[in-house]
């Protein structure tokens, strides 16, 4: 290869052969003998990252690729699988595993050869830990533990040349476009196809309108933060939210309405309890059932008075793991406790706090963090916070905590 002129340019509009993240969360886009690492930067030869992917080994390109999600089998979990014709290659840490390549049937019985695309689908997003294999309009759903294959026809989807799971959403790539789909039903909601250059790569004169940039840590101001029962951590700021626990695969601000479509004006406070997430705005509270996707419980929103027995606006709220008391911070420096198992719900403790005002609060294994602008205060427990007349020492928020830029 001589010079950059011979390198493919994904900003010119490319149909990818395969897309997959690796075990560190770097995303690789494949085309012919080349790949791109991440969402910006030039193409390089695939065999610089995965050394057997070359013509000498007769694998000048890949048909499909995915990253295995199988926490029950750590010998397999996070390995990358590449498919070419009737062969499969398994890599971990960019090294080909012993015994590979194998026939596809040896590792994935019942899955056809000459695939178009593949994507992993963890339990909770699919019924069980699964892989979706695409060939033409057929989708072969492979159950990792039982090795059973169910074939579905999704003729409403374009033929996918690559498929990609990113931040719990599923994308079928075709031409230089993509279509987002539901991994169980194949349903497409919203306006598709969309040009991949506006979303999945940085290209001159392309870009999508969310305009959400990761703030500098020194300029951070949260509205709310919570961790749900499944361990998903959400940070809310203005009209946007960010998932923090998927940071390995990248951080990205999304509009709150994308996940909680009825909450159109941002949030004042959020807390999680009993597989549900409670979003508070003004004197209204919205309660969503947590599963692969959130659904608003019928009859909501309700007023805070009706649901929690409190009046006025809320600054922050938190529930500690395995507890059933919600601690609600109001009026700048009052913490009011409500027992979520009681009927009717009433305030059963009302204490002053040594800090005011508070933007957001989170309770976890490291105690309680109260966020105020770009600083936070840590208290060991709600009891110590309630009894403490002494203000904890403020510490600056860090990238490791909330994904801001240091």
Q: Is the dihedral of CA 32, 38, 43, 46 positive or negative?
A: negative
CA distances from 29 to 97, 151, 201, 360, 371 (A): 21, 26, 10, 38, 38
Q: How far apart are CA 88 and CA 64, in angstroms?
A: 10
Give yes or no for a contact between 332 and 350, defined as CB atoms under 8 angstroms apart: no
Residues shown for the chain: 406
Helix (H, G, I), strand (E, B) or coil at 404: coil
Q: How far apart are CA 404 and CA 220, in angstroms?
A: 7
> How are strands ordered across the β-sheet holding 130-135?
117-121, 130-135, 138-143, 149-153
Give yes or no for a contact between 43 and 50, defined as CB atoms under 8 angstroms apart: no
For residue 81, which of 40, 132, 41 has the smallest C-alpha distance? 132
Q: Is 19 exposed, middle or buried (0-12, 13-18, 19+ CB in 10 A)?
A: buried
DSSP classification of residue 400: H
For 360, half-sphere exposure in the C-beta direction (CA atoms, 13 angstrom radius) is 26
Q: How far apart are CA 158 and CA 172, in angstroms?
A: 8
DSSP classification of residue 379: E
Q: How far apart are CA 132 and CA 150, in angstroms?
A: 10
- The answer, yes or no, to whether the previous bond of 357 is cis (omega within 30 of 0) is yes
Q: How far apart are CA 303 and CA 295, in angstroms?
A: 18
- Tell whether 252 is in a known binding site: yes
Give yes or no for a contact between 159 and 136, defined as CB atoms under 8 angstroms apart: yes
Neighbouring-strand partners of residue 337: 327, 349
Q: How far apart are CA 1 and CA 21, in angstroms?
A: 26
List the binding residues for heme.
208, 252
List the binding residues.
208, 252
């Amino acid at each position: 290869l001589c010079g950059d002129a011979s390198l493919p340019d994904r900003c010119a509009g490319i149909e990818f052969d395969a897309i997959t993240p690796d075990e560190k969360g770097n995303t690789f886009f494949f085309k012919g003998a080349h790949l791109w690492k991440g969402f910006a930067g030039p193409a390089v030869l695939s065999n610089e990252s995965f050394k057997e992917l070359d013509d000498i080994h007769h694998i000048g390109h890949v048909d499909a690729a995915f990253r295995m999600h199988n926490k029950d089998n750590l010998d397999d979990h996070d390995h990358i699988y590449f498919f070419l014709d009737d062969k499969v290659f398994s890599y971990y840490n960019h090294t080909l595993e012993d015994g590979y390549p194998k026939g596809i049937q040896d590792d994935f019985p019942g899955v056809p050869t000459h695939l178009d695309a593949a994507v992993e689908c963890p339990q909770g997003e699919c019924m069980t830990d699964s892989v979706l294999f695409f060939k033409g309009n057929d989708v072969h759903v492979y159950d990792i533990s039982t090795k059973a294959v169910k074939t579905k026809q999704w003729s409403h989807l374009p033929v996918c040349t690559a498929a990609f799971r990113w931040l719990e959403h599923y994308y079928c790539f075709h031409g230089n476009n993509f279509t987002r789909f539901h991994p169980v039903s194949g349903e497409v909601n919203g306006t598709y196809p969309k040009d991949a250059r506006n979303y999945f790569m940085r290209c001159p004169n392309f870009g999508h309108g969310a305009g959400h940039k990761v703030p500098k840590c020194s300029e951070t101001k949260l509205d709310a933060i919570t961790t749900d029962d499944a361990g998903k951590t959400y940070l809310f700021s203005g009209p946007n939210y960010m998932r923090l626990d998927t940071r390995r695969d990248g951080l990205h601000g999304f509009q709150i309405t994308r996940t909680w479509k009825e909450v159109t004006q941002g949030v004042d406070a959020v807390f999680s309890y009993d597989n549900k997430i409670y979003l508070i705005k003004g004197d209204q509270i919205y309660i969503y059932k947590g599963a692969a996707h959130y659904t608003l419980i019928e009859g909501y929103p309700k007023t805070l008075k009706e649901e929690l027995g409190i009046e006025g606006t809320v600054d922050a709220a938190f529930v500690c793991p395995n507890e059933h008391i919600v601690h609600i911070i109001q009026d700048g420096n009052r913490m009011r406790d409500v027992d979520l198992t009681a009927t009717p719900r009433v305030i059963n403790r009302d204490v002053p706090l040594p800090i005011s005002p508070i933007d957001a609060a989170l309770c976890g294994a490291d105690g309680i963090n109260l966020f105020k602008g770009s600083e936070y205060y840590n208290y060991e427990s709600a009891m110590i916070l309630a009894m403490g007349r002494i203000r904890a020492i403020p510490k600056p928020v860090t990238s490791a905590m909330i994904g801001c830029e240091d």
